[in-house]
Chain A
Amino acid sequence: MKHIKTIIDKEWAEVFKNRMVLFTMIFMPLIFTILPLAMLYFTGQGMDEMAAASTADVPVEFLSVCTGDMTGGECMQIYVVNQFLLMFMMLPVIIPVTIAAYSIVGEKATHSLEPLLATPVTTFELLAGKSLAAALPAIIVGWVSFGVFLLALPLIGVSQVVIGYIAGPTWLLAILVAGPLMAIAAVNFAIYISSRVNDPRVAEQISVLLVVPILGLIFAQLAGMIVINLLVMLSFIGGMILVDIGMIYLGATIFQREKILTRWK
């Protein structure tokens, strides 16, 4: 445990001195928190008119989310804010990928992996330390951003019905369960990419491809092909567990002393 803690400490001490990583860690969550709040605030300004609107203004595929006592305006707000749920889910992918790309490929580039591998630290400790160092900030940032978002909702006049939906099981599962699962997949994918490239920027760019499936979900929802509801979220979590198992296996296969020293390019 002490070794894992030391690896995390080392990673954070080094990575957080990198402006690019800091920028990603601060700027992206800010944008992803402010944007839905702004959307809710501005849609809330026209609430009187929206209250008069009927659920006929909401895409028909989304109506299943709008339960009995919701006004058309509230249903529209939930429809709008639901797009941002998927953006919140991008945070645990983008942040760990940035950290892992710099922490592993950067270490390769400065030849500091060999002395590190020559210490008594086990491969498991090293992999766990590096993975946690990349995943934990992303998970924490995701949770904090969501917490700030939730706390700010009443301040901008969002109705209790909408707050109740956002603080409901679909969003909570997305942030508390799907987010960490995606972070784990992202870190292991970054480790795999790290074994193939020598430039942290290339590793980051390739690893960020992981957001493509999330973008796919956003567009599918916008196009009315799917609606992110509890069932979809549970299925997504189930799928992510399988992806994580595969990714952890892949990461552990790649992240072995001899392979790193003799086969990593």
Chain B
Amino acid sequence: MIESKGLTKIFEIKKGADILAVQDLTLSVPEGEVFGFLGPNGAGKTTTVRMLTSLIGPTSGSAWVNRFQVGVDDQEIRRSVGVLTESPGLYERLSARKNLTIYANLYDVGDVDGQVGKYLHMLGLWSRRDDPAGSFSKGMRQKLAIARALLHEPKVLFLDEPTSGLDPEAARLVRAFIEQLRGQGRTIFLCTHNLNEADRLCDRIGIFKSHLIEIDTPENLRKKLYGRKVVFHLRELNPAWLDPIRALPGIQDIECVGQKLVVAMDDPERMNPEIIRLLVDSGADILFVGELRHSLEEIYIQTMQENQEAEAGA
């Protein structure tokens, strides 16, 4: 659905003073995937979205969205994607309905009134349809901007910081709506700073700072960076129990934290029963067993640090 090969964007600010915003971005986002695009401010995420939505042209490389090529089929790309820009950018003096009607006409929607009504209902804005968008709360404006991006039923959606600046309740509503969209099989390219949101919504994430540093599922990234760890909460911990466990194949590391045993291993589903058996046979009282799950924030920070060190080393 979204493909890019060596996509690069250089901005020439002054003669001889170029800014490399996006370098050699190669990625593939299949149909129906929610792809999280993470990176610090100024990393080039918005520039990437702008290139993929044919708003600006790449300096080099190529990209395809919905099988249309960026720079060649720009009109078709713009017609077939929905974009939620970082700022809602509504016409504040106009009503919610008028805002959507204008965009429905620009997207050549067949049943303008029907589509406008459908999304006003779906996003809970129907009762305020004739109020100026300028009188809306931040959450309502964001919902109206999301409705605007969906009027023409695009298969691919680019969402740039959809919950930025929203209160928890509004952010939850927007996230629930994105989950609903995911259920409809749409491909979603999500730029966000909210790592919990990315962890919850995204099938895969790309960590990006001018170039793609990592791309994988959150689970694989966890595994890659930290391995998989299981915590055994015991009533009492006897250090003598550690050696038989350490001797099991597939065990990478064991550490004791208070009365807890933290075991790093390749395949917990296969290893856990054996470890539990060993512990019980040794006389341990097991209170709980759970997987130690590193947050996406930890993964992100670790990845960025490693990247910084690698760049400093180079």
Contact = CB atoms under 8 A, between A and B. Distances in A.
Interface in B111-167: 145, 148-149
Interface string A92-120: 00000000000000000011111111111
Contacts, number: 78
A14 B11 contact: no
A122 B282 CA distance: 75
Interface residues of B, number: 30
B94 A13 contact: yes
A258 B55 contact: yes
B261 to A, nearest CB: 53
Given A9-B102, A13-B94, A261-B56, A118 B78 contact: yes
A118 B93 contact: no
Given A18-B93, A257-B56, A10 B102 contact: yes
A113 B85 CA distance: 10
Main secondary structure of the interface of A (DSSP, over half): helix
B79 interface: yes
A121 interface: yes
A9 B53 CA distance: 25
A118 B75 contact: no
Given A118-B83, A122-B75, A261 B94 contact: no
A261 B102 contact: no
Nearest to A18: B93
Interface string B87-118: 11111111000100011011110000000000
A3 B93 contact: no
Contacts of B11: 262
B218 interface: no
Contact of A14 (B88, B93, B148): B93
Nearest to A259: B56
A262 B21 CA distance: 12
A6 B56 contact: no
A197 to B, nearest CB: 19
Interface in B51-80: 53, 55-57, 75, 78-79
Given A3-B106, A6-B105, A9-B102, A262 B89 contact: no
Interface string A209-236: 0000000000000000000000000000
B90 A110 contact: yes
Contacts of B98: 13
Given A113-B89, A115-B148, A261 B106 contact: no
Contact of B108 (A2, A13, A113): A2
B50 interface: yes
A2 B104 CA distance: 12
Contact of A119 (B50, B78, B87, B90): B78
A259 to B, nearest CB: 9
- Most B C-beta atoms less than 10 A away, residue of A10, A111, A258, A261: A10
**By CB atoms of chain A within 10 A, which of B85, B92, B149 has the most?**
B85
Given A6-B102, A117-B55, A119-B107, A261 B89 contact: no
A112 B91 contact: yes
Nearest to B87: A111
Interface of A: 2-3, 6-7, 9-10, 13-14, 17-18, 110-122, 257-258, 261-262
Ranked 3 nearest A-B pairs via Cβ = A112-B89, A111-B87, A111-B89
Given A114-B85, A114-B87, A118-B53, 8 more contacts: A2-B105, A6-B102, A10-B91, A17-B93, A112-B90, A119-B103, A120-B106, A261-B55
13 contacts: A6-B102, A10-B94, A13-B98, A14-B93, A112-B91, A113-B89, A114-B55, A118-B78, A118-B81, A120-B106, A122-B75, A258-B55, A261-B50
Interface of B: 11, 50, 53, 55-57, 75, 78-79, 81, 83, 85, 87-94, 98, 102-103, 105-108, 145, 148-149
